[in-house]
Amino acid sequence: MPQKPVVTRSLVSLPGGDPLYLEPFWMKHAASSAVLVAGWHRMSYRFSDGSVISQELEKHIRKVHAIAGNAVTDGRYIVVGAGSTHLLGAAVYALSTGNSSSPAKVVASTPYYPLYKQQVDYFRAVDFEFEGDASLLNNTSDTTSRIIEFVTSPNNPDCQLRKAVLNGPSVRTIHDHAYYWPHYSAIPAPADEDLMIFTISKLTGHAGTRFGWALVKDEAVYQRMLEYISMSELVTSKDTQLRALQLLKVVLEGDARQIFDFAFHRMRDRWEKLSKTLSTSKRFSLQVIAPQYCTFYQKVRGPSPAYAWLKCEREEDGDCAVVLRSANIIGREGTMFNTGSRYVRLSLLKRDDDFNFLLNMIKKLVSEEYRAENMGRLQSIIG
């Protein structure tokens, strides 16, 4: 057997986005969330009613959105896929299908999630190409090309709520709402866009299950997304659909307050600890997220973001990822998100141990900064 080669990890943000902070919630709900899969059940491509998507699962998806108040599902079709990654590809194919002689231009506002560009570049399809930052097309007079704008709200990496920056008859949007849950953000109003993508990874923490869904207004786009699913893997795994259904059933217990409260408090607590630690630092700064009215909690609430978008403020800390790595903190370089190397994305989604380690390392950096400032020993300590 050949030596196992190392998989190129730089391609995707696997470790950073793994929401293992939710593990204790599922330990507490071990009995109700367990699934028994009989060997002879669900062998077929289809469910017994002939469909390839569980109707029961669809109902539960609509219900969880109704309770969270984060998306309108009336008049929407639902496409399920192997995680939101699968559905992002389906959406780009579906929206670029050719009524134009030139490829669709795919854009996103900087800083943006690296996979959008990586995936579009990887597929090398004649019907679309990645054009970079959305603002570059702002003043274009080109109305012949289809434009596809990824709108990530809350954004990955900086966790700001966002709107599309482009509009016009040739523009189509893909709203990636992976983080638009009470866990990570105020919910000012239910999202009501043409094509919205969600994933169970960030809702329940089950990233390894690979299950996501899209809410789609237009029937033709819905049909083309189904075509992508069937061309890429025939149907979405029924075992995956079964597990997702069971998880959503537990999510919905007690009107979903249990999981939303657990997740929100955990994330808010982490953010407050990190913010407080960095509040006196002149060397490092964090993104500012304004408090906002949340329809789920029916009050103005502060931030509880999934990521810290940290900036190195000093001239000499030009490569912020290197600065942090020397303190044993591994984040995602800002350059991956199409922005400068002064930024690093730090995941706040991991297990308590990982977060506490991060917090202690940050505390150490800040106390070093403090000592250096106060004792004029900066060079000797950094050196």
Calpha distance 61→127 (Å, rounded): 32
Q: Single out the residue of 173, 180, 251, 178 nearest to residue 216, CA to CA.
A: 173
Q: How far is the CB of 241 from its own copies (least distance, A)?
A: 9
Read out DSSP for 202-244? HHHS-GGG--EEEEES-HHHHHHHHHHHHHHHSS--HHHHHHH
Rank residues 218 and 319 by Cβ distance to its own copies and give the closer one.
Answer: 218
Q: How far apart are CA 6 and CA 3, in angstroms?
A: 9
- On whether the CB atoms of residues 87 and 197 are closer than 8 A, the answer is yes
By C-beta, is 57 or 289 nearer to its own copies? 57
CB-wise, 7 or 168, nearer to its own copies? Answer: 7
Residues 218 and 312: their CA atoms lie apart, in Å, by 44
For residue 188, cis peptide bond before it (omega within 30 degrees of 0): no
Sign of the torsion formed by the C-alpha atoms of 335, 339, 340 and 342 = negative
Rounded alpha-carbon distances, angstroms, from residue 195 to 21, 55, 67, 299, 316 = 29, 20, 20, 28, 43
> Least distance to its own copies from the beta carbon of 68, Å?
19
Q: Which is nearer to its own copies, 249 or 273 (CB)?
A: 249
Closest CB to its own copies among residues 191, 203: 203
Of 247 and 365, the one with the shorter C-beta distance to its own copies is: 247
Dihedral sign (CA 67, 71, 72, 75):
negative
Residue 234 CB coordination number (10 Å): 10
> Concatenated DSSP letters for 59-123?
HHHHHHHHHHT-B--TT-EEEEESHHHHHHHHHHHHHH-SSSSSPEEEEEPSS--HHHHHHHHHH
The rounded distance, in Å, linking the Cα atoms of 5 and 266 is 37
Looking at the Cβ atoms of 123 and 293, the one nearer to its own copies is: 123
Give the strand pairing for 147-152 and 171-176: parallel
Least distance in Å: CB of 231 to its own copies?
4
Q: State the Cα–Cα distance between residues 312 and 369, nearest whole angstrom.
A: 12
Q: Is the dihedral of CA 367, 370, 375, 379 positive or negative?
A: positive
Minimum CB distance to its own copies, residue 281 (Å): 31
Cβ-based nearer residue to its own copies, 128 or 343: 128
Q: How far is the CB of 230 from its own copies (least distance, A)?
A: 5
Q: How far is the CB of 246 from its own copies (least distance, A)?
A: 8
| Minimum separation from the CB atom of position 19 to its own copies (A) | 8
Q: Name the minimum Å distance from CB 37 to its own copies.
A: 5
Min CB(240)–its own copies separation in Å: 5
In the bound state with its own copies, the residue whose beta carbon lies nearer, of 237 and 285, is 237
